[in-house]
Amino acid sequence: MHCQRCGAALQETIVDGRARLSCPSCGYIQYVNPVPGVGVLVEHEGKLALIRRGHAPHKGDWALPAGFIEADESVEQAAVRETREETHLDVELIELFGVYSFPEGPPRSGLIIFYRARPTNPAALQAGDDAVDARFFAPHELPVIAFRTHREVLARWLQERHEPELAEATVGHPPPEVTVRAAEPRDHYRIVELMSHMPARTRMSDIARARAFARLRESGPGAIEVWVAESEEYRQASGWTAIIGFVAVAHLDGLNETRAWLDAMVVEPDYRRRGVGGALFDIATRRARERGASQLLLDITRASPSAQEFYRAIGFDGGDVSRIRLR
């Protein structure tokens, strides 16, 4: 990757306590900042408009009309535009309803600003843009919602309508406070223990465990890069460790391009579908890009059915060796 100012090759350095790409020639620092988005709760006769997604991630799932803000528009303009593009509805914004962040990704971190709105042409509701369906749902009819931030704002909306049971059912388990960091030697035992949740590793032999420990201890250009997710909630429950998941990535330098291989990703079963996998995937893709990788590869046949569903939802294609293009 090269400097936007002078064209020199960027190098990884520690800036403000974080690993960042910077230019040794002119001093430019490439910051990876959250991307702003907008979502809209379109209310009509006590119901909400939802769209059914036509593309990954979460293809086929329901969500609020939402999208990213263009550089030349205000947040309010983006809310009106996204609603019109996805539902054919023209709306009047009622109020700013909430701001939520998604640092776990995938594939990028950001924040989303939600508005309440009313349609001026409710009969025009139909799927548009990348949606395959669009409907008004009463509170008790709400389907499973795709994104954590959408579930959380819907839960607040339901709470304010005095529907606490529906709100709890909508949001599901609250996401744990998760910290993702580079693995250290003291983490190796827990990482190997978590590997027993992988379909091919449910009964690891002593030889397989020894190989795993040896691979984790390797250093140098060919070593795998491992990151762990921690939760203080789990430390208190387990009494000894906060690690609830890990991701391991190998980087393959070819003649023409660099590729990254997602070697393993495991989350403690009680913490699945709570954003932990997304946080680990986010750091894996970010590090792969920083290392100059053009693709992230995965042998999807080794994953469990639920893991395969997760990988496809976040954008991996359908092949046995699946891939996501990074640049």
Q: CA–CA separation, 54 vs 128, rounded Å?
A: 10
293 vs 37, residue with greater confidence: 37
Q: Would the pLDDT of 176 be above 60?
A: no
Answer whether the bond into residue 106 is a cis peptide, omega within 30°.
Answer: yes
Please compute the mean of the pLDDT values over residues 90-115 and round it to a whole number: 81
Q: Would the pLDDT of 88 be above 90?
A: yes
pLDDT at 179: 87
Mean pLDDT over the full length of the chain = 86
CA 170 from centre of chain: 19
The DSSP symbol for 262 reads: E
Answer whether the bond into residue 36 is a cis peptide, omega within 30°.
Answer: no
pTM tops 0.85, yes or no? no
Give the phi and the psi of residue 221 in degrees, each rounded to 5: -60, -35
Q: Would the pLDDT of 304 be above 90?
A: no
Q: Would the pLDDT of 106 be above 50?
A: no
The per-residue pLDDT for range 209-246, each reduced to its tens digit, is: 999 999 999 987 778 999 999 998 888 888 889 999 99
Q: CA–CA separation, 322 vs 69, rounded Å?
A: 30
106 vs 42, residue with greater confidence: 42
Please compute the mean of the pLDDT values over residues 51-75 and round it to a whole number: 90
pLDDT at 169: 55
Q: Would the pLDDT of 105 be above 50?
A: no
| Cα 111 to Cα 20, 154, 289, 295, 314, distances in angstroms | 21, 16, 21, 26, 18
> What domains can be seen in the chain, in order of their start residue?
1-31 (2.20.70), 35-171 (3.90.79.10), 178-325 (3.40.630.30)
pLDDT at 24: 94
Q: Would the pLDDT of 94 be above 90?
A: yes
Percent of the chain at pLDDT exceeding 90: 45
Token couple for 150: 């959408």
Token couple for 99: 């701001």
Q: Would the pLDDT of 141 be above 60?
A: yes
| Dihedral angle, C-alpha 308, 309, 311, 315, nearest 10 ° | 140
Token couple for 46: 């006590």
